[in-house]
Structure 1
Amino acid sequence: MSTLEEQIDIGVPMDVAWDCLHRVETYPRFLEGVREARSGGGHRAHLDVDASGRTQEFEAEITDHGKESMMEWQTTSGPDLAGTFALLPIDREHTRVQARIEYDPGTVRQAFGGPKGFAQATAIERLVRNDLEHFKELAERER
């Protein structure tokens, strides 16, 4: 498994960022490639993802650790992916969002296509950074 960690500081209080992160239906607005997202009830989410020009369906289990301001997710169908989003207060009006994604490069390449090796890792890093930038824009706009 490979691990990618990225972070971004956003100009909203922690509770606003937390609420935004938990609105599954807004995921297509900040996660590149997600065409549709909906809550599957309980702690489940269903995502329709554009994977190399074809739609793949993913199911994910979401676990909240509200006291630690952390949300973990794990796919239960589709490629084996997992991640954590942790929110840390910077001050009353700013929050740091830390993302940690765990993935198997071979599985990701098989599911989504694209390059191998370093080029794939660079593409995934760029994708996660862009997704965090879009999340920042969404959270700050909807504040």
Structure 2
Amino acid sequence: METVEETVDVAVPVHTAYNQWTQFESFPQFMSGVESVTQLSHTTNHWVTKVGGVKREFDTEIVDQEPDDRIAWRSTDGKSHAGIIRFTPLDATHTKVKVHFEWAPETVTEKAGAALQIDKMQVKSDMRKFKDFIESRGTETGGWRGEVEDTGPTGQF
């Protein structure tokens, strides 16, 4: 199991950073390797990714969500993928965004990439792209303020 953590400070209020992160279908605009995310319901998403030439499709569910604080997810189709993103206000106009996720590399390419820490470098790059995306806009593209009750250990990171 691989664990990736990355933190970035963004120059927007916590509600702006959080609201943007609830707009899953915008992820391809700042996440490398994510071709599309289709929101199926308030708590489920279908992902299409292509990393290192390997195309994957999988579904995730939100298992714990508290506005302006956290969003936790896990895969629902047997792939080992789970994580949490936390939002901490630093002041009225700055927010710390921290992502923590775990995944199990399956292919030789994925295992080699994990060994070389390419996954960690990609997440670091994607968090910088999120920072650039949200700061250049100054506002979110939308937002969902609903709550999802913690249903398991994923929310404990």
TM bucket (normalised to shorter chain) is: 0.7 to 0.9
Aligned equivalent of 1:11: 11
TM (norm. structure 1) is: 0.86
Which has more helix, going by share of residues?
1
Pairing 1:40-51 to 2, within 5 Å after superposition: 40-51=40-51
Aligned equivalent of 1:73: 73
TM (norm. structure 2) is: 0.79
- For 1:118, which of 96, 115, 118 is the aligned residue? 115
User: Can you list the C-alpha shifts for 1:11-37, whole angstroms capped at 9, x where unaligned?
Assistant: 000000011100011010111101111
1:57 deviates by 1.0
Which of the pair has the greater relative contact order for Cα pairs under 8 Å at 6+ separation?
Answer: 2
User: Can you list the C-alpha shifts for 1:65-123, whole angstroms capped at 9, x where unaligned?
Assistant: 3157110011112631111100000000000001101122xxx241863616631xx21
- For 1:136, which of 104, 123, 131 is the aligned residue? 131
1:32 aligns with 2:36: no
| Unmatched tracts of structure 2, length 5 or more | 139-157
Mapped to 2, the partners of 1:68 and 1:15 lie a distance apart of 5
User: Can you list the C-alpha shifts for 1:41-75, whole angstroms capped at 9, x where unaligned?
Assistant: 13001111114324321111013431571100111
Aligned residues: 138
Mapped to 1, the partners of 2:68 and 2:16 lie a distance apart of 15
Are the structure 2 counterparts of residues 5 and 51 from structure 1 closer, same or farther at C-alpha, using a change threshold of 3 Å?
closer
- What is the alpha-carbon root mean square deviation over aligned residues? 2.0
**Matched-pair contact (CA < 8 Å) for 2:14–2:68:** no
Aligned-partner SS, 1:38: strand
Which has more strand, going by share of residues?
1
Mapped to 1, the partners of 2:128 and 2:39 lie a distance apart of 23
**Matched-pair contact (CA < 8 Å) for 2:113–2:119:** no
**Matched-pair contact (CA < 8 Å) for 2:71–2:86:** yes
1:9 deviates by 0.3
**Matched-pair contact (CA < 8 Å) for 2:4–2:102:** yes
Mapped to 1, the partners of 2:78 and 2:131 lie a distance apart of 27
**What amino acid sits opposite 2:115 in the alignment?**
F
Mapped to 1, the partners of 2:113 and 2:29 lie a distance apart of 28
Query: Runs of at least 4 residues of structure 1 off by over 4 A?
Result: none
